Structure 1
Amino acid sequence: MCGISGLIDLRKETSHARLSETGQAMAQAMWHRGPDMGEVWADANAGIAMAFRRLAIIDLSPLGAQPMRSSDGRYVMTYNGEIYNYRDLAKDLARRSYKFRGASDSEVILELFARDGIAATLPRMVGMFAIALWDTQTRKLVLVRDRLGIKPLYFGRQGNHVYWASELKAMRATSTFEPKLSPIALDGYLKGNVVPAPACIYQDLEMLSPGHYAEIDTAGEISRHCYWSMAQFANQPIATLSEEEVIDQTESLIADAVKLRMVADVPLGALLSGGVDSSTVVALMQQAADRPIKTFTIGFGASDYDEAHHAAAVARHLGTDHTSLDLSPQDALDLIPNLPDWYDEPFADSSALPTYLVSKLARDQVTVALSGDGGDEVFFGYNRHKALGQIERRVSAVPAPMRRMGAAALAAPGPAIWDTLAQFMPESKRPRMLGTKVQKLSRALAAGTPDARYLDLVTHWPEDLTGLNIPGQLPDGPVLDPSARAAYADTLGYLPNDILTKVDRASMAVSLEARVPLLDHRLVEFAWTLPTELKIRNGISKWPLRQVLYRHVPQTLVDRPKSGFAIPLGDWLRGPLRDWAETLLSQDRLKSRGWIDPAPVRQAWKDHLNGRGARAEALWGICMLEAWAERWMGKP
């Protein structure tokens, strides 16, 4: 895992010394992504500088250093990520009599690019990656991002300069880039609490879409190409396999994905929450290992949000070398001022705080950690995947007025009452944040179509705060049932924009490489051949994944209501964060900034303090927007 960046002066007026200096500044801004070394390659005749920060994982010697030049001298490459099947790819090069200089995956893919080209090589690569490849002959730059969007890559042209980087702070380290807010990106952020790719919070920049590469020519013209598409696999014929064959194939694919991701020349472990996804990954890691693997969990004491005891039970059963750390809420609260620095753009998934803390805990002992992220998108694990299918089956024929009456009845008590009622339920059956979930369900019932219901569930501010009146929409794709349609949208949007962004920035902030075996593209492609009724079976989500896990861990240790990696955000905003939030949400501040209409925000804040609204996540989004703006755009 590393950080890549660079720029091109299209007028070719920048000296070699100045290009190198700028490249160094861009790399230094991302020092945390690669503390082991940093280098810059520059060519004043072409006006280009390519910068790199290295976190050495494979081939720790200088022979794995970047920027790396191909053996024929034509191509220069920087690359962030890991190619897990590089040894098999290397055998192909060896059969063609290539003499290796080192033992890195970087050298393997660079030489394949040089010999076979980008289009022929990318389908052969199994891994996570963001790549910048410069052709010294044609003076064309190619930027590549992996299929699911695990690794980030921003790029764009502003004036006479082209920029690209793993993080936006690298662009801001140059003297030429001018940060200007994108109103469209801001509007998208307010809907989902994350900036929706390919938009970027700054005008003139974008996030390269997953499964795409971009070519930039000598005139700065950009062309974009798709080399892998979810739509292709979401629309393929349904597999005709027995249940046992489905479970066997699912386990085989996950086991291979896990085994490939255990290759490293540095200490390796896993992040374990005790849920289905991370427990499955850890179980298959331990099966493949010849010694107890290191696992890590954090907890928040006696809080209802603490899952550390579940993780410890799974770890004991599997025999891992487990480390668990109990933290106080103050440990998480103390990190809030750092969030704008870690994320560069406004980012309001509050689970970024525990994700950072568990990454920091792991980094004390390992350099690489596997996680269970992606299982919910691949195997339809979110509550909304199940709920949308149930709503469509049960209430689609109910007249709209009656649906709205039912929705109003659910919403009337308010989230605080629902949360109180939840305390009377057995812990094993008690859903976390019941009040928030009931509020979301009430809105979904009132919506008219499955797509409208999905958008309502994932939209934090349905109010038009920016005045742009941009309607939300699901990504284009095949016609699917409501559950599959929601999972498809989550895989293309929520997964890369929120989950993977969170994991990348939180882990990289402490120089930890996070690997996600459940997003191996071969597993993703196979999962989309399975019918929805096999993924959500008799009301149980992620059925194939659960059956794999039950082969290794007793069902009683992992079966409980889905909770996620959450914090008690609503309570914190009413308690220890109240003064901080009040400052960021003040009428005068929001009005002075001039980006959004303060009135709906102030009303939501008032309702939240009085326990009448389930808007904690939405309000957190405004707080994070203001905190980001103060850090990167100045006080209003």
Structure 2
Amino acid sequence: MSRFLETFPSADQEHRVGPDDLQGHQPQLGPIQIFVAGEPRWGRTSGSTAGQAGTEGNSRDAVLAAYRALGTRLFETAHGHFSIAIVDRTTERVLLGVDRSGVGALAWTKTPGGLLVFGTSPEDVARHPAVAAGLSRQALFDYLYFHMVPSPGTVYTGVAKLRPAHFLLQERGRVTVQHYWRPRFSTQADATPAVLQENLRSALRDSVARAAGSARKEGTRVGAFLSGGLDSSSILGMLAQAEPGPARSFSVGFAAEEYNELGFARLAAQRFKADSVELEVTPSGVTSAIPALAAAFDEPFGNSSAVPTYWCAKTARERGVTHLLAGDGGDELFGGNKHYSRQGVFELYSRLPGLVRTMLCEGLLLRALPESAPFPLGKLRSYIDQARIPLPQRLKSWDFMFRTPAARVWDPDFLATIRPGHPDDTMTTVYEEPETGEFLDRLLYFDWQFVLADNDLRKVNTACTLAGVGVSYPMLDADVVDFSLRLPPGFKVKGQLLRPFFKNAMRGFLPDEILDKEKQGFGLPFGLWLKTDPGLRELVLDSFAALKRRHIVRPDFLDDVMREHQDGHASYYGYVIYDLVMLEQWLTAHQGSIR
């Protein structure tokens, strides 16, 4: 997506960023100014009429028409992925909004002098000459817990991000931020499974065709990310039906068997007769990509799969493909993440009578079972310990930072300035928002922000921008999202079976090997390679040496983590080390933005 930065009242022209970056979406001249990144639309979607505004012309004209017809309620019926800012000088009103899934991004702040500064990048907002934003210590603390800075926070003091499906309204100088859409999850199916399966295939087919067609209108060549998983394979198959010639696919693999899914990617490419390109990412590729990615992200970002995503997009660009379709969102819509079934097992514990839990399980059993109890008694104790932790905190109970005392990690002076309970509060706020009694629906909604909007979408958007490639997310099309809400929880997770409905809908379309394989995920063997690759180890040690001088984390903690990585579980500690390296690399690359 393109970028913009603006203020209200307007700042000097020399301090504005936007018109040269809007790529055709120029601000409307006159009393109403429109700033747009992405492609919002208003019109008929399956099962609903989304407002009266037309969709002809470019995005700016569509936004202007929608605003004139719907006023401040225009976001309620907006579809597509977008960041929108409207400055109405006739009413002294400013309206900002991002799409329901959070593909688009907006950040903002209000200065002591009353200036509203807003733009698509929190770093751009923080660097505005009227903004006195420093580095948020709380955000750095939160980053190591979440591997990113969750919305609405940013790494800059006083600067906030809009969460997915939220809008900001300033009228008469007063700012309010609220949601314009919340999902309504169904508890019962409204049609037979066969009809619903055809509905899904149709919605996904239309979504892929719409995304590919929109990209082609801009004169770009379209391809697809292909990991070999359920979602990317489905997107490729639908793209093959929409393309006049062979669909193009791009896949990455690693010389580490437990991380490599190229075999499944080949099955999908062969099934759909794709023009497929494969790339093997090496340790040297990781070493060279890390500084570039740290500079590209506008906040610290610790998801290591950004590295293979970047190399995949860069390879596509080198082959002349300038727009990629990504499969992100399918797991969070249709129940594909492993923790959904795992948490279902723990939820069984909460259904036991309270007296049984407190007296038998948490009383007699826990006292009788030491933490070192052999299998299966040790497993039983672990289960009870886990089940006693409420959601959503239980989701993070195995994460290194949640299991490690803060005093062991952080510099004492740094720790004295932050709220250690803030990550828990942030999770609880989101988890409790949906109007549903089903824990699975709450988990899905939770992941829409923490896994999708704040993590995977930020990762793919930034990696593709760095590579010079546009990206679309057909799984997050409004019709597909709305369809997923029609499915009851049992269609998404059934016992330990993930995504049963989606897999049945794609049976016969995708290879059985892809449908029946265990979910693997899109990871990077960073921790494994760190043990053996000198270049990667040098990058880590140099980063740690610099980080020790910043008085953020304890120097002895960094030494301990390196030692535990060498002696213990390389992959587990590799995640922690990657986060710390990216923190230092980001601080180095963005020191000009830090005041």
TM-score range, shorter chain: 0.7 to 0.9
- Closer/same/farther in 2, CA of residues 372 and 612 from structure 1, 3 Å limit: closer
Aligned-partner residue type, residue 630 of structure 1: T
The structural deviation recorded for 1:189 is: 1.3
Whether 1:369 aligns to 2:319 is no
Identity %: 25
Distance in 1 (CA, whole Å) between partners of 2:374 and 2:547 is 32
Q: Which residue of 1 aligns with 2:544?
A: 585
The structural deviation recorded for 1:558 is: 4.3
Q: Which residue of 1 aligns with 2:590?
A: 632
SS at structure 1 position matched to 2:568: coil
The structural deviation recorded for 1:270 is: 1.3
Whether 1:7 aligns to 2:7 is yes
Q: Which residue of 2 aligns with 1:469?
A: 420
Whether 1:445 aligns to 2:395 is no
The structural deviation recorded for 1:82 is: 1.5
- Closer/same/farther in 2, CA of residues 406 and 216 from structure 1, 3 Å limit: farther
The structural deviation recorded for 1:627 is: 1.8
Q: Which residue of 2 aligns with 1:282?
A: 236
- Closer/same/farther in 2, CA of residues 116 and 304 from structure 1, 3 Å limit: same
Distance in 2 (CA, whole Å) between partners of 1:400 and 1:567 is 39
Aligned-partner residue type, residue 313 of structure 2: S
Q: Any gaps of 5 or more consecutive residues in structure 1?
A: 28-37, 40-51, 55-63, 413-437
Question: Among 476, 485, 492, which residue is 1:519 paired with?
Answer: 476
The structural deviation recorded for 1:172 is: 5.2
Structure 1 residues 157-196: aligned runs within 5 Å: 157-160=110-113, 161-171=115-125, 173-196=127-150
SS at structure 1 position matched to 2:494: coil
SS at structure 2 position matched to 1:66: coil
Q: Which residue of 2 aligns with 1:510?
A: 467
CA deviation vs aligned residue, 1:281-306 (integer Å, no higher than 9, x gap) = 12122223332222211223464322
- Closer/same/farther in 2, CA of residues 168 and 226 from structure 1, 3 Å limit: closer
Distance in 2 (CA, whole Å) between partners of 1:606 and 1:583 is 16
Distance in 2 (CA, whole Å) between partners of 1:207 and 1:409 is 47
Distance in 2 (CA, whole Å) between partners of 1:453 and 1:547 is 30
The structural deviation recorded for 1:273 is: 1.1
Distance in 2 (CA, whole Å) between partners of 1:190 and 1:130 is 27
- Closer/same/farther in 2, CA of residues 594 and 91 from structure 1, 3 Å limit: closer
SS at structure 1 position matched to 2:260: coil
The structural deviation recorded for 1:275 is: 0.5
Q: Which residue of 2 aligns with 1:490?
A: 447
SS at structure 1 position matched to 2:304: coil
CA deviation vs aligned residue, 1:262-287 (integer Å, no higher than 9, x gap) = 22212222111111011111212222
- Closer/same/farther in 2, CA of residues 403 and 452 from structure 1, 3 Å limit: farther
Aligned-partner residue type, residue 282 of structure 1: L
Question: Among 301, 306, 309, which residue is 2:263 paired with?
Answer: 309
The structural deviation recorded for 1:624 is: 1.6
Structure 1 residues 23-102: aligned runs within 5 Å: 23=16, 26-27=17-18, 38-39=19-20, 52-54=21-23, 64-69=24-29, 73-83=30-40
Whether 1:389 aligns to 2:344 is yes
Distance in 1 (CA, whole Å) between partners of 2:512 and 2:100 is 33
Q: Which residue of 2 aligns with 1:611?
A: 568
Q: Which residue of 2 aligns with 1:560?
A: 517
The structural deviation recorded for 1:85 is: 6.0
Distance in 1 (CA, whole Å) between partners of 2:202 and 2:548 is 56
Distance in 2 (CA, whole Å) between partners of 1:451 and 1:410 is 29
Identify the range of structure 1 (257-266 vs 493-502) with the bigger mean alpha-carbon deviation. Answer: 257-266
Structure 1 residues 200-599: aligned runs within 5 Å: 200-217=154-171, 219=173, 221-230=174-183, 233-234=184-185, 236-264=186-214, 265=217, 266=219, 267-301=221-255, 303-364=257-318, 365-393=320-348, 399-400=361-362, 445=386, 447-457=388-398, 460-462=401-403, 463-464=405-406, 465=410, 466-467=415-416, 468-470=419-421, 472=424, 473-474=427-428, 475=430, 476-477=432-433, 478=435, 480-576=437-533, 577-586=536-545, 590=547, 592-599=549-556
Distance in 1 (CA, whole Å) between partners of 2:477 and 2:32 is 28
Aligned-partner residue type, residue 616 of structure 1: G
- Closer/same/farther in 2, CA of residues 560 and 522 from structure 1, 3 Å limit: same
Distance in 1 (CA, whole Å) between partners of 2:441 and 2:176 is 31
Distance in 1 (CA, whole Å) between partners of 2:281 and 2:61 is 42
The structural deviation recorded for 1:110 is: 2.0
The structural deviation recorded for 1:204 is: 1.0
Aligned-partner residue type, residue 619 of structure 1: I
Aligned-partner residue type, residue 469 of structure 1: P
Whether 1:623 aligns to 2:585 is no
- Closer/same/farther in 2, CA of residues 494 and 117 from structure 1, 3 Å limit: same
The structural deviation recorded for 1:309 is: 2.8
CA deviation vs aligned residue, 1:134-185 (integer Å, no higher than 9, x gap) = 1121232211111111111111123333322222342355434334122322
Give the paired residue count: 553
Distance in 2 (CA, whole Å) between partners of 1:621 and 1:90 is 42
SS at structure 2 position matched to 1:216: strand
Whether 1:132 aligns to 2:85 is yes
Equivalent residues of 2:93, 2:171 under 8 A apart = yes
- Closer/same/farther in 2, CA of residues 269 and 163 from structure 1, 3 Å limit: same
The structural deviation recorded for 1:372 is: 0.5
Whether 1:106 aligns to 2:99 is no
Distance in 1 (CA, whole Å) between partners of 2:182 and 2:172 is 28
Distance in 1 (CA, whole Å) between partners of 2:374 and 2:232 is 34
The structural deviation recorded for 1:86 is: 6.6
Distance in 2 (CA, whole Å) between partners of 1:165 and 1:407 is 51
SS at structure 2 position matched to 1:261: helix
Identify the range of structure 1 (196-205 vs 260-269) with the bigger mean alpha-carbon deviation. Answer: 260-269
Equivalent residues of 2:83, 2:98 under 8 A apart = yes
Q: Which residue of 2 aligns with 1:20?
A: 13
The structural deviation recorded for 1:374 is: 0.5
Distance in 2 (CA, whole Å) between partners of 1:500 and 1:411 is 40
CA deviation vs aligned residue, 1:239-269 (integer Å, no higher than 9, x gap) = 2433223322222222222222122212222
Equivalent residues of 2:109, 2:125 under 8 A apart = no
Equivalent residues of 1:190, 1:461 under 8 A apart = no
- Closer/same/farther in 2, CA of residues 450 and 223 from structure 1, 3 Å limit: closer
Distance in 1 (CA, whole Å) between partners of 2:505 and 2:523 is 25
Aligned-partner residue type, residue 224 of structure 2: A
CA deviation vs aligned residue, 1:397-453 (integer Å, no higher than 9, x gap) = 6824757959756999xxxxxxxxxxxxxxxxxxxxxxxxx9xx8897375334332
CA deviation vs aligned residue, 1:356-376 (integer Å, no higher than 9, x gap) = 111112223223211110111
Equivalent residues of 2:123, 2:299 under 8 A apart = no
Q: Which residue of 2 aligns with 1:150?
A: 103
The structural deviation recorded for 1:205 is: 0.4
SS at structure 2 position matched to 1:2: coil
TM-score by length of 1: 0.79
SS at structure 2 position matched to 1:386: helix
Aligned-partner residue type, residue 139 of structure 2: A
RMSD: 3.3
Aligned-partner residue type, residue 366 of structure 1: V
Identify the range of structure 1 (141-150 vs 544-553) with the bigger mean alpha-carbon deviation. Answer: 544-553
Distance in 1 (CA, whole Å) between partners of 2:72 and 2:102 is 18
The structural deviation recorded for 1:196 is: 0.9
